[in-house]
Amino acid sequence: MKTQVAIIGAGPAGLLLSQLLNKAGVSTVVLERQTREYVLSRIRAGVLEWSTVELLRAAGCGDRMDREGIPHDGCYLSTAHGLFRVDFKERCGRQVMVYGQTEVTRDLYDAQDAIGATIIHEAADVALHNLGGDAPYVIYQKDGVTHRINCDYVAGCDGFHGVSRPTIPASVRRDYERVYPFGWLGVLSRTPPAADELIYANHPRGFALASMRNANLSRYYIQVPLSDTVEDWSDDAFWAELKRRLPSRFADTMKTGPSIEKSIAPLRSFVSEPMRWGRLFLCGDSAHIVPPTGAKGLNLAASDVHYLSRALIGACTAGDLSGIDSYSADALARVWQAMRFSWWMTTSLHRFPDQSEFDQKIQESELDYLARSDAAQTAMAENYTGLPF
């Protein structure tokens, strides 16, 4: 089989890249190791930056998002000094869109089906070859048969545990990482959201976040020790702890119910440089991971797709190599801005087990400044809604 761009991974990065490339006349094949059902079963992000909203619209995947998504003008923060709201629209003129990653992925699949894109599921043992040459190829197994795809470029959209990043020699790669000493226990419930906007809470017992998917589907998180397991947390125990950490104005009236999904995710900040090696381009979680506190993971995948789609379209349709030559630097500049913001939100809002009393006072002072300062709230609003491409 021959194609112009072989895309490894059918998550948001891979599907959005395939959609944008095909719309520009660039041929692709997407190789996904899981089934479509499995990909669509994952519960992940919930907040879209406005640049992600506009990219999905440009890809022809925004109709249901515009019907069912919920634009938010701001969010609440609850700290030792009380509850306050950061008004994104007032501070920087931008909103965010509350619309689950699962729905984004479903819309991308539907759009890919509509244009007859090639997505091969249950593709096992994907291996990338000849990336340093001008005729790269990909090998994979399916139904006991070995297949080969000849291509011009390979997009590694296969997430943190994929095959693409490790294919770049360790001598070429420089990895940067910070692992946080806690995780997020997340619950999805068919209950009305606790509030009209998201609530980020810094509480002496730990961080909590009240989010949502729609008027009757809520997403909640609490910080838990890394030693905890989902089995340690009954629904009743989760609701009781969440209510302790949320401001009473919302906790006292919020509706609870059975969890329809419950999971614990570890938190890390991770960047691997460069994001290009020969004919291979890393895109999304294959190149970087952010703690979900800043709602940047999915949005950074979209950011990389913005730069990579533009670069590959230039190379494949006009022989213009400038975009692929600058892709890694262009993408990483925005990655590190989001990395910094996600680190700041995480260190400002969580209680660290080894936190000294001095650390605690600094954290309280940081949040007090945010509560009082127009400049600080403008900086948060700019970053949370997404810096320009």
Burial class of residue 213 in the structure, from the number of CB atoms within 10 Å of its CB (0-12 exposed, 13-18 middle, 19+ buried)? buried
Catalytic residue, from 200, 220, 307, 327: name it: 200
d(CA 68, CA 217): 12
Closest to ligand FAS by CB, 52 or 202: 52
Q: Which residue is nearest to ligand PHB (CB)?
A: 46
d(CA 48, CA 12): 12
Residue 361 annotated in active site: no
Q: Report which DSSP code applies to 231.
A: G
Q: Report which DSSP code applies to 211.
A: E
d(CA 192, CA 210): 11
H/E stretch holding 223 reads strand 217-224
Residue 2 annotated in active site: no
Segment 155 to 174, residues that bind ligand FAS, using CB under 6 A: 157-159, 161-163
Residue 159 contact, options ligand FAS, ligand PHB, none, Cβ 5-8 Å cut-off depending on partner type: ligand FAS
Residue 297 contact, options ligand PHB, ligand FAS, none, Cβ 5-8 Å cut-off depending on partner type: ligand FAS
- Give CA torsion, residues 356, 358, 363, 367, to 10 deg: 150
Segment 99 to 118, residues that bind ligand FAS, using CB under 6 A: 101
Catalytic residue, from 140, 220, 327, 384: name it: 384
| Site for ligand PHB contains 47 (CB under 6 A) | yes
Residue 293 contact, options ligand FAS, ligand PHB, none, Cβ 5-8 Å cut-off depending on partner type: ligand PHB
| Site for ligand PHB contains 46 (CB under 6 A) | yes
Segment 286 to 305, residues that bind ligand PHB, using CB under 6 A: 292-293, 295
Q: State which of residues 45, 59, 138, 271 lies at the interface with ligand FAS (CB under 6 A).
A: 45
- Give CA torsion, residues 311, 330, 299, 48, to 10 deg: -90
Stretch 259-298: interaction string toward ligand FAS, x if CB under 6 A: ------x------------------xx------x--xxxx
Residue 158 contact, options ligand PHB, ligand FAS, none, Cβ 5-8 Å cut-off depending on partner type: ligand FAS
Q: Are 189 and 40 in contact (CB under 8 A)?
A: no
d(CA 180, CA 259): 26
CB half-sphere exposure, 242, CA atoms < 13 A: 31
Minimum gap (Å) between residue 281 Cβ and ligand FAS: 12
d(CA 335, CA 327): 12
Residue 72 annotated in active site: yes
Residue 180 annotated in active site: no
| Site for ligand FAS contains 31 (CB under 6 A) | yes
Catalytic residue, from 292, 307, 327, 350: name it: 292
| Site for ligand PHB contains 183 (CB under 6 A) | no
Residue 200 annotated in active site: yes
Stretch that binds ligand PHB, among 11-19, 40-48, 155-163, 232-240 (CB under 6 A): 40-48
d(CA 30, CA 123): 10
Among candidates 234, 162, 221, which has minimal Cα distance to 43?
A: 221
| Site for ligand FAS contains 193 (CB under 6 A) | no
Minimum gap (Å) between residue 126 Cβ and ligand FAS: 4
Burial class of residue 211 in the structure, from the number of CB atoms within 10 Å of its CB (0-12 exposed, 13-18 middle, 19+ buried)? buried
d(CA 292, CA 271): 15
Residues that bind ligand PHB (CB under 6 A): 45-47, 198, 209, 211, 219, 292-293, 295
User: Residues in the site for ligand FAS, rule: CB under 6 A?
Assistant: 8-14, 31-34, 39, 44-46, 101, 123, 126, 157-159, 161-163, 265, 284-285, 292, 295-298, 301
